């Protein structure tokens, strides 16, 4: 009986962990703090996607959990919202990218404050 229980726990643990996908993203580009090349140096990150939740580090270096909101029309872009530790609400768009697996854009009302990064699954 103990073997069956242990086997079941291991099986379900594997199922949970197998849904998590890890990805690596370039430095964030754009925004108010970008250098002369348009990059925010030191913002390269490793993120995780598990179902409809995405964990990233924003261009300020803050760990952020993105929660799925829905599709943006039929464009292949998915919208996510986050609430940072300081209670700031952010809206992100995740879409396919031509040179990478996908891109993440932190949307902003002010175009100059918008940032974007490009990512590949590992």
Mean pLDDT across the chain: 87
| Amino acid 4: pLDDT | 52
Angstrom CA distances, 52 to 25, 41, 97, stand at: 18, 28, 19
Contact 115, 62 (CB under 8 A): no
Residues with Cβ within 8 Å of 70's Cβ and at least 6 positions away in sequence, in order, are 78, 79
What one-character DSSP code corresponds to residue 98?
Answer: S
Each residue's pLDDT tens digit, 37-56: 999 999 999 999 999 999 99
| Amino acid 25: pLDDT | 98
| Amino acid 95: pLDDT | 96
Maximal CA-CA distance, the chain = 65
| Amino acid 7: pLDDT | 45
| Amino acid 5: pLDDT | 44
Confidence of residue 87 (pLDDT cuts 50, 70, 90): confident
| Amino acid 109: pLDDT | 87
Instruction: Give long-range contacts, CB 8 A cutoff, 24+ apart: 13-16.
Output: none
Strand-pair partners of 96: none
| pTM for the full predicted model | 0.81
Angstrom CA distances, 77 to 45, 73, 80, 94, 118, stand at: 21, 8, 10, 6, 14
Each residue's pLDDT tens digit, 10-43: 444 444 555 899 999 999 999 999 999 999 999 9
């Amino acid at each position: 009986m103990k073997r069956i229980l242990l086997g079941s726990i291991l099986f379900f643990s594997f199922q949970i962990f197998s849904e998590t996908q890890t990805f690596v993203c370039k430095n964030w580009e754009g925004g108010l703090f970008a250098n002369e090349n348009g990059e925010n140096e030191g913002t390269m990150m490793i993120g995780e996607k598990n179902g409809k939740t995405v964990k990233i580090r924003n261009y300020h270096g803050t760990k952020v959990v993105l929660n799925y909101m829905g599709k943006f029309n039929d464009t292949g872009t998915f919208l996510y919202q986050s609430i940072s530790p300081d209670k700031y609400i952010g809206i992100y768009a995740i879409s396919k990218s031509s040179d990478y697996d996908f891109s993440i854009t932190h949307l902003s009302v002010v175009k100059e404050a918008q940032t974007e990064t490009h990512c590949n699954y590992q």
